[in-house]
């Protein structure tokens, strides 16, 4: 099992661990950071884009320091259920990983800006609503040190991130 080496707590540790994607503070992503820190990985099973369900997602951009643990969790999910069952049950919906944006309802950058968050099965676990995210999916990420948004005060059950307290 590939767990995170150390899970940062708060913004200061997040930046110390994963770098600052906007070090000059101009509101735009720094291309040097992008090229140095993000990698493109092939998913262990084809997923479907939640906003365009007939579009397969086979590769995603993710921070290099969390790629192994994320992939390990996704492999475990596939091994638990099988790619065909995941597809048949609608548990193969990809909601996003790297995205340059603010967190919903917040003036702060989303953890998606660092490529250290992934959203899975948005329809089952929408922001602000109780989650129906299957336990085996939640467990696959949590046992590798990831935080699950489904347990937050305002739940975000589709969301998994590799930082605590941000």
Task: Decide if 2 is inside a domain.
Answer: no
Q: From residue 6, give the alpha-carbon distance in Å to each of 14, 138, 163.
A: 11, 19, 9
- Between 104 and 164, the higher pLDDT residue: 164
- Tokens for 78, please give them: 């596939």
Q: Is the CB of residue 148 less than 8 Å from the CB of residue 142?
A: yes
Q: pLDDT tens for residues 7-32?
A: 999 999 999 999 999 999 999 999 99
CA torsion sign for 158, 7, 47, 58 is positive
pLDDT value at residue 113:
96
Cβ–Cβ < 8 Å for 24, 90 = no
80-117 per-position pLDDT tens digit: 999 999 999 999 999 999 999 988 888 889 999 999 99
pLDDT score recorded for residue 103: 86
> pLDDT band at residue 155, thresholds of 50, 70 and 90?
very high
Check residue 71 and give its pLDDT.
97
According to the model, what pLDDT value does residue 76 have? 97
Is 73 a domain residue? Answer: yes
Instruction: Using CA atoms of 23, 26, 28, 29 in order, give the dihedral in degrees to the nearest 10.
Output: -10
- Is residue 22 in some structural domain? yes
Residue 4 counted as domain residue: no
Beta bridge partner(s), residue 31: none
> Residue 166 domain-assigned?
no
Band the pLDDT of 1: cuts 50, 70, 90. confident
Q: Containing domain of residue 64, as a range?
A: 10-161
d(CA 19, CA 166): 15
What rounded mean pLDDT belongs to the chain?
94
pLDDT, tens only, 29-39: 999 999 999 99
How many domains are there within the chain? Answer: 1
Give the span between the Cα atoms of 105 and 122, in whole angstroms.
Answer: 17
The answer as to whether 3 is a domain residue is no
- Two tokens at 100? 């340059």
């Amino acid at each position: 099992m590939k767990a995170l080496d150390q899970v940062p707590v708060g913004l200061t540790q997040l930046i110390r661990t994963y770098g600052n994607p906007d070090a000059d503070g101009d509101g735009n992503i720094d291309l040097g950071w992008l090229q140095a820190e993000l990698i493109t990985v092939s998913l262990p099973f084809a997923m479907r884009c939640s906003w365009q369900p007939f579009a397969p997602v086979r590769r995603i951009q993710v921070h290099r320091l969390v790629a192994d643990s994320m992939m390990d969790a996704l492999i475990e999910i596939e091994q638990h259920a099988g790619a065909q069952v995941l597809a048949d049950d609608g548990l193969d919906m990809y909601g996003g990983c790297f995205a340059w944006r603010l967190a919903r309802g917040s003036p702060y950058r989303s953890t998606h800006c660092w490529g250290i968050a992934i959203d899975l099965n948005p329809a089952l676990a929408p922001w602000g609503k109780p989650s129906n995210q299957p336990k085996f999916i939640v467990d696959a990420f949590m046992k590798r040190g990831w935080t699950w948004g489904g347990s937050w005060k305002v739940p975000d059950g589709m969301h998994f991130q590799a930082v605590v307290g941000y």
